[in-house]
Structure 1
Amino acid sequence: MALLLAGCSGSSLGSDSTPSGGPIRIGLVWPQTGVYKTVGDDFARGWQLYLDAHGGKLGGHEITTTVVDEGDGKQATRTGIKKLIEQDKVDVVVGTISSDAVQEVQPAATAAKIPFLATGGRPDNLQNLAFTWHTSWQNRDAGAALADYIRTTVKGPVYAIGPDYKGGWDQVGGFVDPFVAGGGKLANPDGKATFTPFPATTNYLPYLNAIPADAKAVFAFYGGANAIDFVKAYAQAGLQAKVPLYTGGFTVEGAVLTAQGAAADGIYSSLNYAPDLDNPANRAFATAFQSKYDAIPDLYNVTAYDAALVLDRAIAAAGANPTSASINATIGKLGQLDSPRGQWRFGEQHAPVQPWYLRQVRLDGRGRANVVVQTLTTLGQ
């Protein structure tokens, strides 16, 4: 992806009272290394697809973009967001996949009064959301969307497992809490979900071999390289044909599904997008994406694409000389958006109110894909 780098110091928009009318500077915080690098690549593709379709402009204005690496942990993100705000003087921040990264970017952007459009998971402990907007999901939603379905479909206890960091706690907890509250039983020996060291764990066989014999299903959340290792280990442990695996959709999404190969066959997941959704926006998006990249689109392409869509609409509505403040104000007034995932809007907590789908990994003629089985529910706030 060709990125235009900002070449001068000082804010391109100037102060709120004296806008300069220059290009709008956008800082992109996406993983370029580490466990989630493939997700960063997916974000870049979706973002660029929207820009290509709109002459490289957003809201009719020229933009410049600067990318910093989210990496695997908080330190890389902390360094990156400091650079974007203090050195590059960005007017808007877009990006992040992990909860650790969000917890570094969000307070920094809020303190600087810069809109932050997050393209990945939102942890459940953020404060002061005035400048924070997620075009993606709340971490607990993927598991919550599946809880009642699994409880009423699986006849017996379910084993729950995920990575030991904020994103993993939220994703797995989103399933466990409503599942147990509804009368479901965990198969974990201590009655609590199992968490594996993050990101260091690469061998999941010891954990999988410890799953009790009475477990009738497994719920898991992993992403990036960890998801590849986990799903392959699940098949290697002989569980694939015996114990149904349900996941937050991120575990079988995008490049990781290709890398997982046949080990992913049959896995059920919940997510707010699938490439075979039949709506006008997705038909146009999927066609354009496959034409440009010769690949099936995924959710990460969509959340970055939608971040560009949100900014396009908000900047256009912010007047001839948009400011960070005026862009932020117009984001909150956009209303319903026609997205490849289906129509959605920002809720009171600036997270998407959107449908969630049950999907299953199947061969669909072109390769493996997450095929929609049914709509599960609508979540968000």
Structure 2
Amino acid sequence: MLRASAVLPVLAAALLAAVPASAQDKVKIGVVVTLSGPSAVLGAQARDGFNLAVKTLGGKLGGLEAEVIVADDELKPDQAVTKVKGLIDRDNVDFVVGPIFSNVLQAIHKPVTDSARAILISPNAGTSNFAGKQCNPNFFVTSYQNDQVHEVLGKYAQDKGYKSVVLMAPNYQAGKDSLAGFKRHYKGQVLDEMFTPLGQLDFSAELTKIAAAKPEAFFTFMPGGMGVNLVRQYRQAGLAAIPFLSAFTTDESTLPAQKDDAIGFLGGANWAPDMNNPQSKAFVAAFEAAYGSVPGTYAMQAYDAALLIDSAIKGAGGKVGDRAALTAAMKKADFTSLRGKFRFGNNNYPIQDFYLVKVAKRADGKYQTEIAEKVFADYVDAHAGDCPMK
């Protein structure tokens, strides 16, 4: 006969196993973003955007109390994996939201999607491989496929008739995707393609090459502190007469430091702070009131990630432990995106509009990007056809 002390743990385990998924009264989310070094401002925007959404929803997602655990991936893939495994194994999170950088996404994708329960939602990084053959039913993106924003500038350069360009990006997956995206629509001459180390802050050698090449336009992808320094040095080198086209180089994360050096520079985006719809206007006002800065796409896409989770939990009847029900509800994207039109393609990447944006200084002295024109409507990424999901 078993002693009472032996029976109680067995009975307790059985009772816990019998509790239905619908009885869960809390949802746990691990937010994994870069909060260290020159690129910390990007992660801070995403963290703040997600937290603002949770606060706006009364501290609940899908009617359940939301516990948000924030982790700094330090822009180190190995550190990110350690942090993610802790969130899954120790904290038992239901969702992992992140990261910012694609090299980190490549590292954490498998640990999360292979876990028994957690769903991965990227509010920024959207590499081509996970949009295509390696698409996964437990991975969703609320931003874009990396190529697409850069395609905006390639299409613009082609339409403007620029006969030659120089291209530059950091040497990692997102950088490679950026140049591939630009060249998808640009058919002119590429005089030079330069790949720099991720985190490089001195571009004097590259700027000398640009000056010598004399292109009709220059395209770059340099996020965070890299973009801040590049824009300043570009102006100082006297190259501003060469049109500066970029994505994530002059945006709301970098403009407070770039200031007048970035005015007039062109970018590509799926949203801008002057987006003319009620939900976006309310978000921008609330973000500025809460954090004292103008939100960028990093914040907007993380806010939408929270709205996606909220809609999925509701759609799954509150059954957070039922991943199949949650992913089915997420596929429907039954929420009002800050950017307006939003739906998922077969690969769980968004189908959405894209815009040419221009840096401007507001009447209150703050800087922001503003929509100049729509370049793509309901745009499906180029890799969706390679995804076997339906």
Indicate yes or no: 2:158 matched with 1:151.
Answer: yes
Instruction: Count how many residue pairs are aligned between Structure 1 and Structure 2.
Output: 357
TM-score using structure 2 length = 0.87
- The answer as to whether partners of 2:135 and 2:347 remain within 8 angstroms in 1 is no
For 1:357 and 1:343, the matched residues in 2 are separated by 13
Match of 1:31 in 2: 34
Per-residue deviation at 1:16?
A: 10
Deviations 1:233-266 (A, max 9, x none): 11111111x1010001x11122311111221121
Per-residue deviation at 1:17?
A: 8.3
Match of 1:70 in 2: 73
For 1:307 and 1:324, the matched residues in 2 are separated by 19
Deviations 1:49-95 (A, max 9, x none): 11111110001001212222121221121111111112212111111
- The answer as to whether partners of 1:35 and 1:72 remain within 8 angstroms in 2 is no
Match of 2:372 in 1: 373
Distance 1:148 1:334, change over 3 A: closer
Per-residue deviation at 1:178?
A: 2.8
- The answer as to whether partners of 1:119 and 1:136 remain within 8 angstroms in 2 is yes
Q: Secondary structure at the match of 2:128?
A: coil
Match of 2:336 in 1: 338
Match of 1:106 in 2: 109
- The answer as to whether partners of 2:164 and 2:191 remain within 8 angstroms in 1 is yes
Per-residue deviation at 1:152?
A: 2.1
Give unpaired runs (5+ residues) of structure 1.
1-13
- The answer as to whether partners of 2:355 and 2:372 remain within 8 angstroms in 1 is yes
Match of 1:139 in 2: 146
Indicate yes or no: 2:261 matched with 1:271.
Answer: no
Give the counterpart letter for 2:94 in structure 1.
D
Per-residue deviation at 1:213?
A: 4.1
For 1:279 and 1:254, the matched residues in 2 are separated by 19
Give the counterpart letter for 1:59 in structure 2.
G
Distance 1:320 1:72, change over 3 A: closer
Match of 2:230 in 1: 230
For 1:303 and 1:37, the matched residues in 2 are separated by 17
Per-residue deviation at 1:324?
A: 4.6
For 2:185 and 2:265, the matched residues in 1 are separated by 21
For 2:58 and 2:236, the matched residues in 1 are separated by 48
Q: Secondary structure at the match of 1:140?
A: helix
Per-residue deviation at 1:44?
A: 1.7
Structure exhibiting the larger radius of gyration computed from Cα positions: 2
CA RMSD of aligned residues (A): 1.8
Match of 1:115 in 2: 119
Q: Secondary structure at the match of 1:303?
A: helix
Report matched runs for 1:214-363 at 5 Å.
214-240=214-240, 242-248=241-247, 250-325=248-323, 326-335=325-334, 337-363=335-361
Distance 1:16 1:237, change over 3 A: farther
For 2:318 and 2:20, the matched residues in 1 are separated by 12
For 1:359 and 1:15, the matched residues in 2 are separated by 53
Distance 1:262 1:320, change over 3 A: closer
Give the counterpart letter for 1:203 in structure 2.
D
- The answer as to whether partners of 2:162 and 2:188 remain within 8 angstroms in 1 is no
Match of 1:184 in 2: 188
Indicate yes or no: 2:171 matched with 1:171.
Answer: no
Per-residue deviation at 1:35?
A: 3.4
Q: Secondary structure at the match of 1:210?
A: helix
Report matched runs for 1:17-56 at 5 Å.
18-19=20-21, 20-56=23-59
Tell me which protein shows more helix as a share of its residues: 2
For 2:291 and 2:162, the matched residues in 1 are separated by 42
TM-score using structure 1 length = 0.89
Q: Secondary structure at the match of 2:320?
A: coil
Match of 2:207 in 1: 208
